[in-house]
Structure 1
Amino acid sequence: MFNVISKIIGFINQSIAAIGITAGVAVAFINVVARYGFDASFTWATELTVYLFLWSAFFAAAYCFKKDAHIAVTIILDIMPTKIAKIMLILSHVVTIIFLLAVSYYGYEYLLLVIDLDERSIDLWDMPMWIIYLVVPISFLFGGYRVIEKLVEIIKTPHEQVVRVSEHEMHLHGMAGDIEEDKGLEKMVKDVEKKTGGML
């Protein structure tokens, strides 16, 4: 059941992120061509472009929690005993979950207020603004679900591996398969670190 939910959330995140950025670029490009090529402009294009980029960014951020693509500073974890490092990781993920779910909840509360006020877009065909603001509660809820998945994974991981296996190594393990069977993983990690300047 959880695998099905995870796949559905992943599909929604990827689809909206890809469609949003693609459509946003297309609308902006068409508006620029119309403005400079035909001395015309679509009044709704700028607002629509902003909303498309907004939806794309929020759902892409939610997807990044699944792939551990968000920037993380692990220098303190690297020098801590493994048991303490695991506890710190668990606490940081719990705080992150609380934050994401809180933003999702209050985003929903604000959504209800917008519906009550019947706020509408000026340029975008009189569209109800609650449709636009829907991105906040949904994307943050999805992000919270992804962090809960990561928290469960950390809890199940032996504390010795929390420090021994860094984040970029864990990411590569997911791509390469079992850590014990992949003999070329260490070389792969070094190559990636060299090419990215250690930023992965």
Structure 2
Amino acid sequence: MSQKETFLGSVIDRLEEGVIALLFAAMTLVTFTQVVARYGFNSGAVWALELTTYLFAWMVLFGISYGVKKNAHLGVDAVVNLFGKKGQRTLGMIAVIASMVYAAILFYGGYEYVAKLFKIGIEAEDLPIPRWVPMVILPVGMALLFFRFSQVAWRILTGLQDGLVLGNEAADAMKEYLDRVAEEGAEERRKKQDPTGSV
């Protein structure tokens, strides 16, 4: 990958992480203030639920592409593991191409929907903003998802990755446990070698 592509990926990585954190913080703040307002002062903002819903939708759609970046999406790889490296790469490319087609179709549909909302000019139900503004995340989120899958496709094609890497919580937990056991064993051996505790 060229330095320009790496720089672009790095910028998008940081932007994605920052936006997700900001959305989560905003959603938490709005929800918390609503709880305090309703239970403490018997009042609340009518628009808060709609805003929280939009913030959550934005967070989910940013999170989908972020999950691809972090290999956090769960999947069943029992069939894929039956194949060798070449077969895994082929199946990985098929899965990535299918995912890119899916993202492209949803991007197109999202773009058309947002364009119609923009043309019609209707407002959101409770927020005093045009409805297309919160809905713009549909094409943006799908464009990010397409970008992330194109990165995966590039890594498979260049041999940096064997297939579509999926999150494996059981394997991750087992590795973490074994690392901890090995660390504790090394610490015990050090203590046996130096019983005074002076290292």
Q: TM-score w.r.t. structure 2 length?
A: 0.79
Task: Give me the whole-angstrom Cα distance separating, in 2, the residues matched to 1:193 and 1:77.
Answer: 26
Q: Does the CA-based 8 Å contact 2:74-2:166 persist in structure 1?
A: no
Shift of 1:168: 6.0
Cross-structure match for 2:74:
71
Selected match of 2:29 from 4, 26, 30: 26
Counterparts of 1:41-60 in structure 2, within 5 Å, are 41-60=44-63
Cross-structure match for 2:175:
191
Cross-structure match for 1:107:
110
In the superposition, relative to structure 1, how do residues 130 and 25 fare at CA in structure 2: closer, same or farther (>3 Å)? Answer: same
In the superposition, relative to structure 1, how do residues 137 and 167 fare at CA in structure 2: closer, same or farther (>3 Å)? Answer: closer
Q: Give the secondary-structure state (helix, strand or coil) at the position aligned to 1:75.
A: coil
Task: Give me the whole-angstrom Cα distance separating, in 2, the residues matched to 1:101 and 1:70.
Answer: 19
In the superposition, relative to structure 1, how do residues 90 and 41 fare at CA in structure 2: closer, same or farther (>3 Å)? Answer: same
Deviations 1:100-158 (A, max 9, x none): 12111221111111111112113112x00111111010111011111111111111217
Instruction: Give, as a single letter, the amino acid of the residue that structure 1 aligns with 2:139.
Output: P
Q: Please say which structure displays the higher CA radius of gyration.
A: 2
Q: Does the CA-based 8 Å contact 1:47-1:123 persist in structure 2?
A: yes
Cross-structure match for 2:162:
162
Task: Give me the whole-angstrom Cα distance separating, in 2, the residues matched to 1:149 and 1:106.
Answer: 23
Cross-structure match for 2:183:
none
Instruction: Give, as a single letter, the amino acid of the residue that structure 1 aligns with 2:110.
Output: G
Q: Does the CA-based 8 Å contact 2:123-2:131 persist in structure 1?
A: yes
In the superposition, relative to structure 1, how do residues 194 and 109 fare at CA in structure 2: closer, same or farther (>3 Å)? Answer: farther
* Larger RCO of the pair (alpha carbons < 8 Å, separation 6+): 2
Q: TM-score w.r.t. structure 1 length?
A: 0.78
Shift of 1:83: 2.1
Task: Give me the whole-angstrom Cα distance separating, in 2, the residues matched to 1:135 and 1:193.
Answer: 39
Cross-structure match for 1:184:
none
Q: Which runs of 4+ in 1 moved over 6 A?
A: none
Counterparts of 1:77-92 in structure 2, within 5 Å, are 77-92=80-95
Counting aligned pairs with the same residue, the percent is 24
Q: Does the CA-based 8 Å contact 1:19-1:56 persist in structure 2?
A: no
**Unaligned 5+ runs, structure 1:** 170-187, 196-200
Q: Does the CA-based 8 Å contact 2:23-2:59 persist in structure 1?
A: yes
Q: Does the CA-based 8 Å contact 2:69-2:148 persist in structure 1?
A: yes
In the superposition, relative to structure 1, how do residues 194 and 140 fare at CA in structure 2: closer, same or farther (>3 Å)? Answer: farther
Q: Does the CA-based 8 Å contact 2:110-2:138 persist in structure 1?
A: yes
Shift of 1:5: 1.6
Cross-structure match for 1:142:
144
Task: Give me the whole-angstrom Cα distance separating, in 2, the residues matched to 1:168 and 1:39.
Answer: 44
Cross-structure match for 2:196:
none
Cross-structure match for 1:131:
133
